[in-house]
Each structure stands twice: as structure tokens, then as C-alpha cells.
Chain A
Amino acid sequence: DAMVIQNPRYQVTQFGKPVTLSCSQTLNHNVMYWYQQKSSQAPKLLFHYYDKDFNNEADTPDNFQSRRPNTSFCFLDIRSPGLGDAAMYLCATSRRTAQETQYFGPGTRLLVL
């Protein structure tokens, strides 16, 4: 019954060591989003895909990249994690209209040592 799945749920990486977070969906939605949520803060949109079209938020650091090889999967790559990148990373999906609900995954908590 799972709709938006994120793996792993917890990820520990070392300062500067590349890390990849995974998101998959069974909803066949054409939009997928990545949010960053730091402790006690609101989720903040990093970027989204509409099908294969990538849309980066203006203030998303270059250190964050994303890939979407097919409709079901989307990856978040952090090329050189810093201590400030420790956060919960949330994946969400929706259809491509403003009135559609976004469905969120459970998140991946990233710890940077």
C-alpha cells in the first residue's frame, strides 16, 4: 500500500563524502519534489521534476543534484556534504496541476560526521 518510498530512512555519511538518497513512487505521478527540512524548521523546496524536466530553486546550492531515470524513481545526490547539510530530506509527488495534493514519503534523515 506504500505510495512514496524513501531509502534509506537513516543515512550517515562523512564530511565531503558523496551520498545518494533514493525515492520511488507507485502513484504514477509526473511531478516529483525534493525538500530539505532542518531541525525545527519548515520544509524547503530544493527542486522538482516534471517528467524529465528538471527545475531548480534559485537558492538551492550547487552541491545538490538530482536524477530521475524514469517515472517511478528520483535520486538526490549531495556531492560534498557539509555539516550544514544534516537534515531530513523529504520526497513528494503530485500530478502537474496546482490543485493536486502532494504526497510525501517518510523522509531520509541524513547525519554528516
Chain B
Amino acid sequence: AQSVTQPDIHITVSEGASLELRCNYSYGATPYLFWYVQSPGQGLQLLLKYFSGDTLVQGIKGFEAEFKRSQSSFNLRKPSVHWSDAAEYFCAVGENTGFQKLVFGTGTRLLVSP
């Protein structure tokens, strides 16, 4: 069965600094990979997704992620963090079972300091 590991439970970054959130997955075939963001009390918003092709994926709000098959990783990056980026970030792998079954990691909570 597939699984997703987000090793960092909390990360604090200064506003304007760069950000990298780690995600490792376990999946037998070529994975479909996603990053979602969840603000407090809100649902999940898709930041970006990878299905195939270029391993560097651009998303919304200035985020990007890089798929590295050799490392089974799909880390999320942003060059300059804004205070509004403070939220919970979930990495997910999609299992192609005829519909898109998502398995989520446990999330990383991002705090942005002034």
C-alpha cells in the first residue's frame, strides 16, 4: 500500500526567507503527487500536482515542487515566504484505482515569524 511521510511536524520560517517542505512517498508504480494547503478551519486547496513529464512543477501562490524518483521525494519550495503562507501543508499520493484515491501525509504546520 502506498504511504506518504512528511517528517517535519512544524516549521518556522522568517518572512521573506526561503521555504522547503519535505515529502517522501512509497508507491510501486509512477505516482500521482499533490500538495494541498489548509488554512485554519478551512478545507484543502490544491497548490500543485505532478502526473508525468517535467519533474519541476509550478503551482499557485509562487510554490513549486520537484519530483525526484531516485529519492522518492516531492519537496515543496517557495523562494520568499509571506505571512499569509502560514497554514498546514499536506502532501498526498494518488492511487490510480479507476478513481483518484488520495493518501495524505500527516501534514507540516508552517509558522511565519516577522
Contact = CB atoms under 8 A, between A and B. Distances in A.
Interface of A: 4, 6, 31, 40-45, 48, 50, 55, 90, 92, 94, 96-107, 109
B102 A45 contact: yes
B43 A90 contact: yes
In this complex, which of B41, B95, B98, B102 has the most chain A Cβ atoms within 10 angstroms of its Cβ?
Answer: B102
Interface of B: 32, 36, 41-46, 49, 51, 90, 94-102, 104-107
Contacts of A92: 44
A98 B43 contact: no
Contact of B104 (A6, A43, A55): A43
Contacts of B36: 104
B106 A42 contact: yes
Given A42-B107, A98-B94, A99-B51, A106 B100 contact: no
Contacts of A4: 43
Contacts of B105: 42
A106 B102 contact: no
B41 A109 contact: yes
Given A6-B43, A43-B90, A102-B46, 12 more contacts: A31-B99, A40-B106, A42-B105, A42-B106, A43-B44, A43-B102, A50-B99, A90-B43, A97-B99, A98-B94, A98-B97, A104-B36
A42 B93 CA distance: 12
B49 A104 contact: no
A99 B32 contact: yes
A99 B43 CA distance: 20
B42 A98 contact: no
23 contacts: A6-B43, A40-B107, A41-B107, A42-B104, A42-B107, A43-B44, A43-B104, A48-B99, A50-B99, A90-B43, A92-B44, A94-B100, A97-B100, A98-B98, A99-B32, A99-B51, A99-B100, A102-B46, A103-B46, A104-B45, A106-B42, A107-B42, A109-B41
